[in-house]
């Protein structure tokens, strides 16, 4: 019985660690460079949202799935109907529940891009 509890605990820790920062820094740098100079709001929203998808795919799919269907993390397919871009940016930046903070791992522009892109999912 103790061995199965230890095994399940280890499995849980490994699953949660998969939600951390991507080891592929090339994708992160490219997304950061693409977002340089992009503003949030109505004028920069489309460009930021386009780069947000690339940033999401490089950093978030291990927990939220390629199609936002959820896995370790929740389903995000209609997240924009529940939260605004600013609220989503706050969650990505500061973390929430089992989700880690991405402040310091992603640039502010990357976080805004992901938030703007997710806010379109309604």
Mean pLDDT by 10 residues, the chain (122 residues): 62 51 40 38 51 96 96 96 98 96 96 97 96
Phi, psi of 96 (to 5 degrees): -170, 135
Those residues whose C-beta lies under 8 Å from the C-beta of residue 18, and which sit 6 or more positions away, are 62, 63, 72
Say if 66 falls within a structural domain.
yes
pTM of the model: 0.62
Q: What is the pLDDT of residue 19?
A: 54
Q: What is the pLDDT of residue 33?
A: 38
Say if 6 falls within a structural domain.
no
Q: Determine the structural domain holding residue 58 and report its residue range.
A: 52-120
Query: Which string of DSSP letters, residue by residue, matches 26-75?
Result: HHHHHHHHHHTTPPPSTTTHHHHHHHHHHHHHHHTHHHH-TTS--SSSPP
Q: What is the pLDDT of residue 7?
A: 56
Say if 13 falls within a structural domain.
no
Q: What is the pLDDT of residue 42?
A: 37
Which CATH number goes with the domain that contains 70?
1.10.760.10
- Count of Cβ atoms closer than 10 Å to residue 40 Cβ: 19
Find the helix packing angle between 45-59 and 108-119, rounded to 10°.
100
- Count of Cβ atoms closer than 10 Å to residue 29 Cβ: 12
- The closest of 36, 35, 32 to 22, measured between CA atoms, is 32
CA atoms within 13 A on the CB side of 62: 16
- The closest of 78, 55, 74 to 65, measured between CA atoms, is 74
Report the domain count for the chain: 1
């Amino acid at each position: 019985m103790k061995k199965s509890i230890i095994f399940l605990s280890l499995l849980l820790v490994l699953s949660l660690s998969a939600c951390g920062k991507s080891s592929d820094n090339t994708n992160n740098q490219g997304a950061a460079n693409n977002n340089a100079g992009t503003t949030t709001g109505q004028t920069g929203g489309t460009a930021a949202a386009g780069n947000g998808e690339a940033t999401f795919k490089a950093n978030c799919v291990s927990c939220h799935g390629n199609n936002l269907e959820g896995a370790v993390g929740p389903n995000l397919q209609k997240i924009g109907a529940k939260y605004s871009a600013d609220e989503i940016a706050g969650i990505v930046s500061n973390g929430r529940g089992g989700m880690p903070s991405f402040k310091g791992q992603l640039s502010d522009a990357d976080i805004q891009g992901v938030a703007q892109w997710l806010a379109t999912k309604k």
